[in-house]
Amino acid sequence: MQPIADRIRVAVLFGGRSGEHDVSLVSARGVMAALDPDRFIVIPFPIGADGHWQHQRITPEPGANPGIDVVFPVLHGTFGEDGTMQGLLELADLPYVGAGVLASALCMDKAATKRMCAASGVPVVESVTGRSIAAPATLASQAEAAFGYPCFVKPANLGSSVGISKARDRAELLAAIDTAFGFDTSIIIERAVVGQELECAVLGNEEIAASVVGEIVPGKEFYDYEDKYLDGKAQTLIPARISDDDHATVRQLAVKTARALGVEGMARVDFFRETATGAIYLNEVNTIPGFTPISMYSKMWEASGLPYRDLLTKLVTLAIERHARRRSLRFSR
């Protein structure tokens, strides 16, 4: 084991004011237990569900956090994965794991993700977006005219399938819109795609690598929060049950998506493969995906030859390298 003075001090941020608070706690336990003790000193930074930093906090001033060498945010959802925490860490001039401010904000907003990726040639599912000032009946009529039923309604800025509902008729659609607006002021309604749910992990800064492709087999009608974290009935398959050509297409689209959104560090890029047409569509991008040893992001990299502990080391290394590159830039005339 290296002397304490030679080890990298990693501040792990977890919890936070988000609908995914509990998921973050599980992910952080996995990260903190697996970071190589020969190379790293782990410093836990728990944040309460009310947003209160429980034991210590990061000061948004360069040089004011001398006990931290690099930050590993394991904060899923709002106030952690949406660019806000990344902005704090930029102000503090601290290296941090994962995407930067703009990429985090873009990926968190499903509507913005779709617009940016569609402009870059990544296929996306037809959708209608709306803000809370819009009349629910108007949004429902727009969705009915665009693609009809069934359809899904999602908060634009949330993950872990929180607040997502499937609608088969006008009554269910209006109820789904009401539910989604309970979690966000912006929502997205999109055509339901019948087929496979595929995932691909990306890793890197300037050079981005893609993992083998995995598949989620929901334990119920669709892969919601309960199916992901509570019921335990969903299955994960690595590699996915797709052709070699489709496998190559998904990996290429995952890298193309990451580049279109400016993602660095890591992301899990999710897709649909429509059974009737064979078409592959982008679903969403998670810049801080679930991070236990059995989460899809880490499992896909393990299947690609990069074990969990080595993956964490790589992510910390990428964070330090990106920070060094940014510090070489000029911020004054």
pLDDT of residue 220: 57
pLDDT in tens, 17-48: 988 899 999 999 999 999 999 999 999 999 99
Q: Please write down the HEC assignment for all residues of the chain.
A: CCCHHHCEEEEEEEECCCCCHHHHHHHHHHHHHHCCCCCEEEEEEEECCCCCECCCCCCCCCCCCCCCCEEEEECCCCCCCCCHHHHHHHHCCCCECCCCHHHHHHHHCHHHHHHHHHHCCCCECCEEEEECCCCHHHHHHHHHHHCCCCEEEEECCCCCCCCCEEECCHHHHHHHHHHHHCCCCEEEEEECCCEEEEEEEEEECCCEEEEEEEEEECCCCCCCHHHHHCCCCCEEECCCCCCHHHHHHHHHHHHHHHHHHCCCEEEEEEEEEECCCCCEEEEEEECCCCCCCCCHHHHHHHHCCCCHHHHHHHHHHHHHHHHHHHHCCCCCC
| Contacts of residue 56, Cβ cutoff 8 Å, sequence gap at least 6 | 45
For the chain, domains (ranges, CATH) are 4-97 (3.40.50.20), 106-123+194-287 (3.30.470.20), 127-191 (3.30.1490.20)
pTM to 2 decimal places: 0.90
CB 265 within 8 A of CB 322: yes
| Structure confidence by residue, pLDDT tens digits, 53-110 | 998 899 999 999 999 999 999 999 889 999 999 999 999 999 999 999 999 999 999 9
In terms of phi and psi (left: phi > 0; alpha: psi -120 to 50; beta: otherwise), the region of 122 is beta
Predicted confidence band of residue 221 (pLDDT cuts 50, 70, 90): low
Active site residues: 20, 160, 229, 268, 270, 284, 286, 290
Question: What per-residue confidence (pLDDT) applies to 272?
Answer: 97
Q: Is 222's pLDDT higher than 90?
A: no
Average pLDDT, the chain: 92
Longest dimension (CA), the chain: 65
| pLDDT, tens only, 8-22 | 999 999 999 988 899
Alpha-carbon distance 13 to 113, whole Å? 25
Burial of 23 (0-12, 13-18, 19+ CB in 10 A): buried
* Gap between the Cα atoms of 87 and 59, Å rounded: 12
